[in-house]
């Protein structure tokens, strides 16, 4: 709910408008939520934004557990039911996609600035996908449901470092072999 409040506030100050310049899709991960509840939530957050025009391009979706899992798996979004809290535990953030449906960028956290969202939307509109370096960095972190934060996944770091070492050694051997052949030939 905090991330939706933040998104509403951010959309309220953007010069670009959902429905004209881009579309916003909020998907409930709780299969018990109904379309009627989605309509209520949409009205609440549109009102909080202070910009009624965003209602045209902000879509709230509900679905079956199977359909929700398909959508979240496609976006790389992970969540789990927390029995103790009786709610879903998940990372906070926004996923930005291109018009072709390719994931362009993730904005993690509850509060991100309008500038960050605007740049992410502009990149996605140009079909830009996050850089390979950012993908590697994201691979090295994982969302910890217990703490509610991203933490370093040390085994992934070791894997990336190992792959970089093997690549570097391979390049050194390749360069030395070429030099040796030039000197002999």
pLDDT digits (tens, 9 = 90+) for 90-148: 888 888 988 888 888 888 778 777 888 888 888 888 887 766 555 555 555 554 545 55
For the segment 68-75, the average pLDDT, to the nearest whole number, is 90
% of the chain surpassing 90 pLDDT: 38
Identify each DSSP E strand in the chain by its residue range. Answer: 24-27, 58-61, 80-82, 87-89, 93-97, 103-108, 141-144, 149-152
Cβ neighbour number for residue 8 with a 10 Å cutoff:
21
Q: Give this prediction's pTM.
A: 0.65
CA distances to 30, 53, 112 from 125, in Å: 30, 21, 19
pLDDT at 164 exceeding the cut of 80: yes
Q: Output the pLDDT for position 139.
A: 55
């Amino acid at each position: 709910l905090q991330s939706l409040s933040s998104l509403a506030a951010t959309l309220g100050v953007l010069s670009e408008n959902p429905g004209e310049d881009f579309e916003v899709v909020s998907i409930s991960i709780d299969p018990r939520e109904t379309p009627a509840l989605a309509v209520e939530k949409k009205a609440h957050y549109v009102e909080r934004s202070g910009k009624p025009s965003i209602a045209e391009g902000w879509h709230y979706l509900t679905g079956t557990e199977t359909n929700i899992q398909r959508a979240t798996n496609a976006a790389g979004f992970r969540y789990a039911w927390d029995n103790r809290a009786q709610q879903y535990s998940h990372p906070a953030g926004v996923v930005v996609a291109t018009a072709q449906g390719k994931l362009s960028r993730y904005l993690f956290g509850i509060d991100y600035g309008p500038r960050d969202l605007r740049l992410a939307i502009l990149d996605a509109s140009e079909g830009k996908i996050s850089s390979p370096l950012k993908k590697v960095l994201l691979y090295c972190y994982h969302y910890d449901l217990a703490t509610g934060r991203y933490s370093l996944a040390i085994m992934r770091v070791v894997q990336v470092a190992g792959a970089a070492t093997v690549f570097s050694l391979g390049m050194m051997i390749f360069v030395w072999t070429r030099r040796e052949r030039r000197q002999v030939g």
